[in-house]
Amino acid sequence: MKKIELIRKLRDAGVVAVLRGDSPEDVVRMAEKAIEGGIRAVEITLTVPFALEAITTLAKKYQSGDPSAANYAIVGAGTVLDSETARSAILAGAEFVVSPGIDEPTIRLCNRYRVPVMPGAITIADITKALELGVDVVKLFPGNMFTPSIIPTLKGPLPQANLMPTGGVSLSNLGEWIKAGAFAVGIGGDLTKEAVKTGNYDLIAEKARAYMDAFRKAKAD
């Protein structure tokens, strides 16, 4: 039941912050600012050195049980390439797992522990395979290969597929992706690049607020 509830909460969150940095302290700061700005789902990529430390720090600080609480956030792991890494991330506190492609052992392990898993796919064949393996949300990656019109195109033969574009999503097109039927969107460099460049991490909170405003507007239209 918790898995189903988490998937619903990820859909309601609408925007997943995909965070990369040079250290666990770096991405923890990014996550805190993203959450301060209203984003309620953060994905710590396993390309970050000692990324599991960052996941544990955030999992201890935030909780996904009560959406009305000030410390509400869903913490997940990204760029998970194999089942060993997935299990380590789950033990570290990750509540969802994202991978750039379809790795059956990773999907099976996450299903075993009832943890939402979102593998990347770009073709009908791969999306179909993901669904057959029990995946609830497929990451459409890299999203910058497409325009938002790909969502209804894919949903023509696969209306049951929940698709989350990641890569290439920006403030200028987020609304189009949501209106096209995206389950949620993943945002990465566009959220953090100015903060990293200037050292002013408050810019992440400002950008996060803008993203959430765009998401809410798209849902209301």
Positions marked catalytic: 43, 139
Amino acid at 94: A
Question: Can you tell me the distance from the alpha carbon of 63 to that of 192, in angstroms, rounded to the nearest whole number?
Answer: 23
Contact assessment for residue 83 and residue 46, using Cβ atoms and an 8 Å cutoff: no
Question: Can you tell me the distance from the alpha carbon of 161 to that of 89, in angstroms, rounded to the nearest whole number?
Answer: 25
Question: Can you tell me the distance from the alpha carbon of 30 to that of 92, in angstroms, rounded to the nearest whole number?
Answer: 19
Q: Alpha helices, DSSP H only, in 113-188? A: 124-132, 150-155, 174-180
End-to-end CA distance of the chain: 31
Contact assessment for residue 58 and residue 73, using Cβ atoms and an 8 Å cutoff: yes
Question: Can you tell me the distance from the alpha carbon of 14 to that of 50, in angstroms, rounded to the nearest whole number?
Answer: 27
Question: Can you tell me the distance from the alpha carbon of 115 to that of 96, in angstroms, rounded to the nearest whole number?
Answer: 6
Query: Half-sphere exposure of residue 79, counting CA atoms within 13 Å on the CB side?
Result: 13
Largest Cα span, the chain: 46
